[in-house]
Amino acid sequence: MREIDLLTQFNLTSNEASIYYALLTNGSLNGYQIAKITGISRSNTYNSLAALVEKGCAYKIDGESTLYSPLSIEEFCSNRIRSLESAKNELAELIPQGTESEQEYVTVTGAEHIRNKISNMIADTDKRIYMSLPHDVLDVFRDDILKIAAKNIKVVLITDRYEVIAGITVFISDEPIVQVRIISDSAKVLTGDFDGPSCLYSEKKNLVELIKDSIKNEMTLIELKKNKTL
């Protein structure tokens, strides 16, 4: 069940996620009711309920029959994200930074990891980013791109469907774009297939310059074709 799979990404076991989901969809329940709805044994149900209360997913309501009331999904997720953000900041202070060096050629495998790498490249851009993306891939990262454009970061985009985006320079290719090519701050590059199986990421200057020249040549060609048709 997709909802349960997503909840387990927030540090819940499968049983805890199933019980939390039951509370969210049914409202306040006692342990017996939850065990009956979920099919989880009574002993495991009460152990999981205790864990959910400790993790801030549910409130315990004492009475003639002890009830458990769920925290809203929005509040629970926000609390968890805020806690992780705080832990991230603390780790950044505690863990010593290694010596800055060019990364070798790194293969990023799998659609999810490729998506995360592209999102991080966009978010970490300080001055400028050049991107050649198929239109369907552009839609995936549209919000990320708009966020950095709003910070007056230079964004130059090549895509294969007519697109007007305020604050962004857009070139329209008359040929379908198959591969993703991204250069961030003239220092980081990613190229390959968005849906996998893999993309190549590097901070090596020779690859950065190679892909930069490739993108510049494509923009020049698009402009020449455009002027020829006018």
pTM of the model: 0.71
> Phi-psi bin for 156: left (phi > 0), alpha (psi -120 to 50), beta?
beta
Q: Does residue 158 contact residue 132 with C-beta atoms inside 8 Å?
A: yes
Residue 74: count of CB within 10 angstroms of its CB? 8
Q: Which residues contact 147 (CB under 8 A, 6 or more apart)?
A: 123
Residue 98 has what pLDDT? 61
Q: Which fold has domain 106-229?
A: Endonuclease; Chain A (3.30.870)
| Domain range annotation of the chain | 2-74, 106-229
Strand partners, 58: 70
Q: What is the pLDDT of residues 154-212, one digit of tens each?
A: 999 999 988 888 889 999 998 899 899 999 999 999 999 887 689 999 999 999 999 99
Q: Which fold has domain 2-74?
A: Arc Repressor Mutant, subunit A (1.10.10)
Among 51-55, 58-62, 222-226, the minimum mean pLDDT is found in 222-226
Q: Does residue 122 contact residue 129 with C-beta atoms inside 8 Å?
A: yes
Instruction: Give the mean model confidence (pLDDT) for residues 19-42.
Output: 96
